[in-house]
Amino acid sequence: MAMVSRMASAASLAVFAACTTATATAPPPQSFAFGPFDVTAHQEVVNSCVQITLHNDATLYVQSVELTTGSGFHHSNWLFVPETQYPGDDGTFNCADRSYNEAIAAAFGGVLFAQSTQSPHEVQQFPAGVAVALPAHSKLIAQIHLLNAADSALHITPTIAITPIAQSDVATVLSAISFEDEALGLPAHKDSQFTVDCDLSRVHYQRFSRNPDFKIYYALAHYHALGTGLTLEAVKPDGTAATVYSTTHRVGDALGGPVAPAFDMTGYTRLRLSCDFTNPRDSVVHWGVGDQEMCVFLAFSDSPANWAGGAIAPDPPGDPTVLAGGVMGYQHACTVIALDANH
């Protein structure tokens, strides 16, 4: 399920563990069925988790992930953890029964895949030689968000498939980036834009004695039904900006894809996230699940650190500035978090 708290910002940080064993040749693709799920008319399910043990004796370098769900499967974030964590049978379970928490799970392992909102079929494909590393004896785990807006029941039979490559073919192992703006307050009957401008240079210099110089390979936007677009920009110290990734797709479309060519952050010190919304309702819409909204950017990079942050608490959005076309613009302070990627 999408991130909904301060702790959950860190949930999208991939902490890729080192492993001494690795595959000499590419293992075959694997497909896993999970569920099935029966969702009654207008039902929402937010407290179910899924576990899939991979039974891998060596590191898997995953180059692509394919998720096939169908109508009613609203969203899911897929992490990898050691198979000894969250003990219990594979399949669906109540997240609370195993004390599952995305932030803690990310610290045990890392992020593999994030699903676009209500996208029934999606492929996360990295370029040749680029992969996420799943250590030996890993399992996949995800909190799933089901939402049936229809007047009739749904029977959902999803699958998730992974395609590994050989270690000898790996040139780049990926880490994760996640920024979000929880300080949402979409004004009624208005178009609005919410922006956080995040300076990575201070933390990057503290850790690596240099300014940002990593490349971004893949990006994914996450918003709900009122979202009309998301833009991520890289900004230089003089204010010059370049678009890293943008989408105007709506809920149900794939909101992620490769950044081709990979975007080089060299010379840029900030990431600026903006989400656009149209609220036709009579009430203000805030951060949350159900009929509320989100503004989240997820990405994979070759940085030696995993990056996260943004406006990571559901604070009031503040006073707006009227932008072109009468759009109500809101800006909020950004918190920057970095953790070693360990790859």
Contact (Cβ atoms closer than 8 angstroms) between residue 255 and residue 116: yes
Judged on CB neighbours under 10 Å (0-12, 13-18, 19+), 213 is middle
Contact (Cβ atoms closer than 8 angstroms) between residue 247 and residue 255: yes
Task: Report the DSSP beta bridge partners of residue 76.
Answer: 144
Residues 6+ apart with CB under 8 A from 75: 1, 2, 115, 116, 117, 118, 144, 145, 222
Instruction: Report domain extents, the chain.
Output: 17-170, 175-340
Residues 6+ apart with CB under 8 A from 99: 86
pLDDT score recorded for residue 8: 37
State the Cα–Cα distance between residues 54 and 28, nearest whole angstrom.
12
Residues 6+ apart with CB under 8 A from 80: 109, 110, 111, 112, 134, 135, 138, 139, 140, 141
pLDDT score recorded for residue 26: 85
State the Cα–Cα distance between residues 118 and 114, nearest whole angstrom.
12
State the Cα–Cα distance between residues 47 and 258, nearest whole angstrom.
31
CATH T-level topology, domain 17-170: Jelly Rolls (2.60.120)
pLDDT score recorded for residue 1: 35
State the Cα–Cα distance between residues 101 and 338, nearest whole angstrom.
19
Query: Domain 175-340's class?
Result: mainly beta
Q: What share of the chain is helix, strand, coil (3-state, %, to 5)?
A: 10, 50, 40
State the Cα–Cα distance between residues 104 and 278, nearest whole angstrom.
34
Torsions phi, psi of 312, nearest 5?
-100, 25
Cis ω for the linkage preceding 320 (within 30 of 0): no
pLDDT score recorded for residue 164: 97
pLDDT by residue for the chain (343 residues), tens only, comes to 333 333 334 434 433 333 334 446 889 999 999 999 999 999 989 889 999 999 999 999 999 999 999 888 888 888 888 999 999 999 999 999 999 877 677 767 778 887 877 778 889 989 899 999 999 999 999 989 898 888 999 999 999 999 999 999 999 999 888 899 999 999 999 999 999 999 999 999 999 999 999 999 998 888 888 999 999 999 999 999 999 999 876 654 556 788 989 999 999 999 999 999 999 999 999 998 778 998 988 889 999 888 888 998 999 999 999 999 999 999 999 999 888 775 5
Domains 17-170 and 175-340 share a fold: yes
State the Cα–Cα distance between residues 37 and 91, nearest whole angstrom.
11
